[in-house]
Amino acid sequence: MREPLLRIEGLRTVFRIPGGEFAAVDGVDLEVPRGRTLGVVGESGCGKSVLSLSVMRLVPPPGRVAAGHVWLEGRDLLALPMEQMRQVRGSRVAMIFQEPMTSLNPVHSVGAQIVEAMRAHDPGASAAALKERAIEALRRVRIPAPERRFEEYPHQLSGGMRQRVMIAMALACSPRLLIADEPTTALDVTVQAQILDLLRELQAETGMSIILITHDLGVVAEMADEVAVMYAGRVVERAAARALFEDPQHPYTLGLLGSVPRLDEERERLLAIEGVVPPPFALPKGCRFHPRCPFAIEACRMAPPALEEIAPGHLAACIRAPVEQSVAA
């Protein structure tokens, strides 16, 4: 198998709080193959956004990456000097965010903001050339009348248009990896579909890899080649998208799938997972999911389960997996 574009090893990101610190991301290993999409799913607070900010080294204080490696094309991003990391941002790894309303600077025109991203990685280019390229970037994300939009300010654009501008800006320097943190959560459903289509088309054109962070399993099913399910700062299940949806192995994944409405099945009501994600400073001992798990046994309270291969390419962190055996037993 080819070397993956991005390999995350033992990543641990901690936040200092009065009286100690807690790990928002606690020992995560992930791989993103070239030209493919990795979906990272989980409830709010499971650490998926902190994971993506850790890769960019943009974790806001009082947070910091405490351990681990992020290998991108043979370099450990976490060990790079600040100036080299700055050059990686935007040109090798780019990022788009959940809130297109606030992610663009309201006082600069969208054109200026795209040009700025390009100039940061190509300081010698002429203003005219950069403008030309920025308009081309807007055209590439299917923004109509890009010459005119170039001069406009974010408040003059709709949410969907703003997210397109964000994508244009992110892809302005042809990054190899795009991290999309809940890119469609704040958008209308129809606009959502358009943005996802656009991302897929651009991926096909450029061959970039995508990390798609979302809590929406529908989005994952549509977009991802591989899926990692996160719970309380850890990856609890990892598999090819198809395998995960057809044969989920971790009780938490099962719970997530049970809470998705489906058109092709009749159900009395949606199943909810009992309880809430534990706060990171009050994690239960043993398996972090056991207080909410319908399959939990005494052993689950003892030691945290390791992420183990259950079927080829299918990993789950549950001592009772494969689930079928547990249910049968």
Partner 1 sequence: MAAAGTKEDDRTAMLRHALHRLLLAIPVLFGVLLIGFLLMQVVPTDAAVVRAGPTATPDVIEAIRRDLGLDRPLYVQFGLYLWRLAHGDLGVSIINNVPVTQELAATIGPTLELMAASLIWAIPLGILLGTVAAYYRGSVADRLIMAFSVAGVSVPVFFVGLVLIWFVGFKWQLLPFTGRGGPLWTADGLRAIILPALTLGGVFVGPVARMTRTSVLDVLSADHVRTARAKGLSERLVVLHHALRNALIPVVTLVGLQIGFLLGGAVVTETVFSWPGVGRLAVGAILSSDLPMAQGAIIVLSLGFIVVNLLVDVLYAGLDPRVRAA
Instruction: Find the binder of partner 1 among 18, 19, 60, 124 (CB under 8 A).
Output: 60
Which part of the chain contacts partner 1 (CB under 8 A), choosing from 100-108, 196-204, 239-247, 283-291? 100-108
Q: Does 89 bind partner 1 (CB under 8 A)?
A: yes
Question: At 245, which amino acid appears?
Answer: F
Near partner 1 by CB under 8 A: residue from 50, 77, 134, 169: 169
**Contact between 103 and partner 1 per CB under 8 A:** yes
Q: Does 152 bind partner 1 (CB under 8 A)?
A: yes
* Residues 68/8, Cβ–Cβ less than 8 Å: yes
Residue 11: exposed, middle, or buried by beta-carbon count in 10 A (0-12, 13-18, 19+)? buried
Q: What are phi and psi of 181, to 5 degrees?
A: -95, 105
Comparing CB distances to partner 1, the nearer of 43 and 116 is 116
Q: Does 86 bind partner 1 (CB under 8 A)?
A: yes
- 90 in contact with partner 1 (CB under 8 A): yes
Size of the site for partner 1 (CB under 8 A): 37
Asked if residue 105 binds partner 1 (CB under 8 A), the reply is: yes
Complex with partner 1: residue 117 or 318, whichever CB lies closer: 117
120 binds partner 1 (CB under 8 A): yes
Q: Which of 9, 21, 43, 99 forms a contact with partner 1 (CB under 8 A)? A: 99
Asked if 125 touches partner 1 (CB under 8 A), the answer is: no
Residues that bind partner 1 (CB under 8 A): 56, 58, 60, 86-91, 94-95, 97, 99, 102-109, 116-117, 120-121, 148-149, 151-153, 155-156, 166, 169-170, 172-173
